[in-house]
């Protein structure tokens, strides 16, 4: 069982009536069942809870009649797993919200008794989800509380924001952070190659300004930079960022002139033995023995990871990093409880993965639109992580939170 599945999921109780498709909801309930824990209503109504449980299990499927007939409370997670079919699901959420919105007073009162936080709070939550969904073009999602408590996204120019991230700020932002933690600056900065499609950012700064920005952000810090190798060598290979202690080529398949980038560790280094991958010579007698004993070889220092292609881009951002890339960097470089500062956070891949892996994370992006996307990313990140774990599922030396 994964950590995500073990954790108590956020459950929202909703009333529903015949105005919308009961079968659709039943399917959602069934699908969500594995992940959910029933939150008991505030009222003491065991028979009712049992009835709902039965419905959730798909055991009962009676026909809907009128609103009054069944103000049954179903449970439905406005959940992170819904994002794949976002448009259709979004419509369902809208219907649910609208059905509640337009319920008569008696119905509302009955519904309220099942929401410990009060009917209005639930309504507000739904309305804010609707607003967020419209703004960011993402499906409404509920962000798990523990992830939200580990991540902050700040809109602004990182050159101005970074100096504000002082120790008191960090402690005030993340009250749960331990006394001792390390800070890492991990990001793929804008490439300054005139890349089109950014929101409100022109990817062609004067060279000097660009160089100064990179030095200002990473210089002298424990940093991991993802960039083109020739840029790192030509512009920052002379010690201005500190000492480069490790580099790993990230190789991918595309039709452009470059099929690799370089991940460079400055003033810190990865421990590649934390992640395993299958042995190469699997017919070798000694290797067979090792495999029988459940061993894997330590992660190689070249990584083949598919790039996120334009056609399959799940977020409206021109250069989304693969989740697997962020996962590997974070696991081999940092420990649970450390802080990752992700200047240039874009759609939030690094920050969201960091939070989901038990780190604290601050993301900064100049575009409010990308900040919104990054904030909502927490709602899907665990599903994205589950889908991407190609290598090293068994993490060596990784302390559970």
Sequence-distant (≥ 6) Cβ neighbours of residue 263 within 8 angstroms = 224, 225, 226, 247, 248, 249, 250, 303, 325, 329
The CB-of-113 to ligand SAM minimum distance in angstroms stands at 43
373's tokens: 């996307």
Q: Does position 371 bind ligand SAM by CB under 6 A?
A: no
Rank residues 346 and 392 by Cβ distance to ligand SAM and give the closer one. 346
Laid out side by side, the sheet with 223-227 consists of: 151-155, 360-365, 339-343, 183-187, 223-227, 260-266, 244-251, 303-304
Per-residue contact flags (x/-) with ligand SAM for residues 283 to 322, judged by CB under 6 A: ----------------------------------x-xxx-
For strands 244-251 and 260-266, give the pairing: antiparallel
Please, which residue, 26 or 367, has the CB nearer to ligand SAM?
A: 367
* Residues numbered 326-355 forming contacts with ligand SAM, rule: CB under 6 A: 343-344, 346-347, 349-350
- Within residues 153-172, the interface with ligand SAM by CB under 6 A covers 157-159
Indicate whether 392 belongs to the interface with ligand SAM (CB under 6 A).
no
- The four Cα atoms 174, 178, 183, 189 give a dihedral, to 10 degrees, of -30
> How many other CB atoms are found less than 10 A from the CB of residue 189?
17
Residue nearest to ligand SAM (CB): 346
Minimum distance from residue 390 beta carbon to ligand SAM (Å): 18
Smallest gap from Cβ 226 to ligand SAM, in A, equals: 8
For the CB of residue 212, give the shortest distance to ligand SAM in the complex, in Å: 11
Question: Do the Cβ atoms of 146 and 7 come closer than 8 Å?
Answer: yes
HSE at residue 277, side-chain half, CA atoms within 13 A, is 14
What secondary structure letter does DSSP report for 153? E
Smallest separation, CB 348 to ligand SAM (Å): 7
CB of 393 to ligand SAM, least distance (A): 22
CA gap 139, 130 in Å, rounded:
8
Q: Does 48 bind ligand SAM (CB under 6 A)?
A: no
Count, residues near ligand SAM per rule CB under 6 A: 22
Largest CA distance in the chain: 75
Could you tell me which of 264, 384, 252, 392 has the C-alpha nearest to residue 328? 392
Instruction: Give the residue, chosen from 366, 378, 381, 391, that forms a contact with ligand SAM under the rule CB under 6 A.
Output: 366
User: Would you give the binding string for ligand SAM spanning residues 184-223, x where CB under 6 A is met?
Assistant: ----x-x-------x--x----------------------
* Footprint of ligand SAM (CB under 6 A): 157-159, 188, 190, 198, 201, 317, 319-321, 343-344, 346-347, 349-350, 364-367, 370
């Amino acid at each position: 069982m994964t950590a995500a599945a073990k954790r108590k999921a956020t459950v929202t109780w909703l009333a529903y009536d015949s105005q919308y498709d009961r079968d659709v909801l039943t399917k959602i309930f069934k699908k969500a069942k594995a992940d959910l824990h029933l939150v008991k209503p505030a009222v003491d109504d065991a028979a009712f809870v049992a009835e709902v449980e039965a419905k959730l299990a798909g055991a009962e499927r009676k026909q809907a009649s009128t609103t009054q007939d069944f103000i049954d409370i179903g449970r439905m997670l406005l959940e992170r797993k819904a994002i794949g079919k976002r448009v259709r699901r979004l419509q369902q959420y809208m219907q649910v919200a609208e059905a509640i919105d337009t319920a008569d007073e008696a119905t509302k009162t009955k519904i309220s008794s099942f929401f410990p936080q009060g009917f209005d709070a639930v309504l507000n939550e739904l309305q804010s989800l609707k607003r967020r969904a419209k703004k960011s073009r993402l499906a409404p999602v509920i962000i798990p509380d523990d992830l939200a408590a580990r991540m902050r996204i700040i809109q602004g120019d990182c050159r101005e924001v970074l100096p504000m991230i002082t120790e008191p700020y960090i402690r005030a932002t993340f009250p749960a952070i331990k006394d001792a933690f390390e800070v890492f600056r991990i990001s793929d900065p804008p490439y300054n190659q005139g890349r089109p499609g950014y929101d409100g950012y022109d990817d062609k700064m004067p060279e000097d300004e660009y160089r100064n920005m990179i030095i200002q952000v990473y210089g002298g810090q424990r940093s991991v930079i993802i960039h083109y190798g020739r840029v790192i060598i030509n512009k920052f290979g002379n010690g201005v960022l500190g000492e480069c202690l490790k580099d790993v080529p990230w190789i991918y398949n595309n039709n452009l002139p470059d099929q690799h980038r370089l991940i460079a560790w400055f003033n810190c280094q990865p421990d590649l033995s934390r992640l395993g991958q299958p042995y190469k010579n699997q017919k070798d007698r000694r290797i067979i023995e090792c495999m029988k004993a459940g061993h894997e070889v330590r992660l190689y220092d070249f990584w083949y990871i598919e790039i996120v292609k334009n056609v399959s881009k799940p977020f409206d951002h021109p250069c989304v990093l693969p989740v697997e890339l962020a996962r590997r960097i974070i696991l081999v470089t940092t420990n649970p409880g450390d802080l990752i500062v992700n200047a240039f956070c874009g759609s939030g891949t690094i920050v969201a993965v960091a939070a989901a892996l038990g780190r604290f994370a601050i993301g900064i992006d100049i575009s409010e639109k990308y900040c919104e996307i990054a904030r909502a990313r927490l709602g899907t990140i665990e599903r994205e992580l589950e889908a991407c774990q190609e290598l090293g599922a068994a993490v060596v030396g990784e302390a559970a939170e």
